[in-house]
């Protein structure tokens, strides 16, 4: 079981059992959009697999991004959005043109230097460490990464999600992490979005170059 050690000052650490602690926020209209189905990981409890199995892509797919005028915030996920950072940046730019006040949050398990060019357009980023990432030294290198993210965009919200099946503990620097959440995946494969969210699919590769 994973355990988390924090340094200097405390931050919120939550344990979510099958999403029971996720509260509906009726005042916010949130779109959760899958921008790609591609991912190099092969996680056994993949939310995207659940969405596609229960909600065929034809039902989730949208063609007109003007619909984002109806939402207060958008959560960009996949697949792995960071597999094509250029397409992701074009997609975010287009959303901003449609709705300049919308809050944009990126969900990823693949952080690298390419994200720095996207940060100014983001309100928040959520990074998930899966149970198969067993190298503690590799994981803890992200503490320096959090610091860089914060330096580039001091207002950005940084959240860290940890798979409870990780066999070791990690050390984090809460100065840069707004929230740490330990997730317990549903072994039945259910991955329901919060009640206030609507799930959509839009292939970000379809966004044309300027």
Cα Rg of the chain, angstroms: 17
Would you kindly state where each structural domain of the chain is located, as residue ranges?
4-206
pTM of the model: 0.79
Q: Quick one: which of 41, 196, 183 has its CA closest to 108?
A: 41
Give the H/E segment covering residue 109: none
Mean pLDDT of 3-23: 42
Mean pLDDT of 18-23: 38
pLDDT in tens, 153-171: 888 898 888 877 776 666 6
Q: Which residues contact 141 (CB under 8 A, 6 or more apart)?
A: none
C-alpha distances out from residue 46 to 9, 20, 72, 170, 187, Å: 33, 18, 26, 23, 11
Q: Note the pLDDT of residue 34.
A: 93
Give the range among 141-145, 175-179, 192-196 with minimum mean pLDDT.
141-145
DSSP state of 196: T
Q: In this structure, which topology does domain 4-206 adopt according to CATH?
A: TIM Barrel (3.20.20)
For residue 94, what are its two tokens?
Answer: 């287009």
């Amino acid at each position: 079981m994973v355990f988390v050690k924090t340094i200097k000052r405390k931050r919120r650490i939550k344990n979510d059992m099958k999403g029971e602690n996720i509260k509906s926020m009726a005042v916010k209209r949130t779109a959760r959009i899958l921008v790609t189905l591609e991912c190099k990981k092969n996680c056994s409890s993949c939310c995207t697999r659940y969405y596609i199995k229960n909600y065929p892509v034809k039902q989730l797919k949208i063609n007109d991004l003007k619909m984002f005028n109806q939402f207060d915030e958008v959560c960009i996920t996949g697949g792995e959005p960071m597999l094509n950072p250029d397409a992701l940046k074009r997609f975010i730019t287009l959303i901003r043109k449609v709705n300049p006040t919308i809050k944009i949050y990126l969900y990823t398990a693949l952080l690298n230097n390419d994200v720095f060019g996207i940060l100014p357009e983001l309100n928040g980023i959520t990074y998930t460490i899966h149970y198969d990432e067993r190298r503690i030294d590799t994981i803890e290198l992200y503490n320096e990464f959090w610091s860089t993210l914060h330096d580039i965009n001091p207002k950005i919200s940084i959240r860290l999600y940890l798979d409870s099946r990780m066999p070791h503990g990690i050390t984090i620097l809460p100065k840069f992490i707004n929230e740490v959440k330990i997730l317990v995946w549903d072994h039945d494969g259910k991955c329901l979005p919060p009640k206030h969210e609507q799930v959509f699919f839009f292939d970000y590769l379809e966004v044309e170059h300027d």
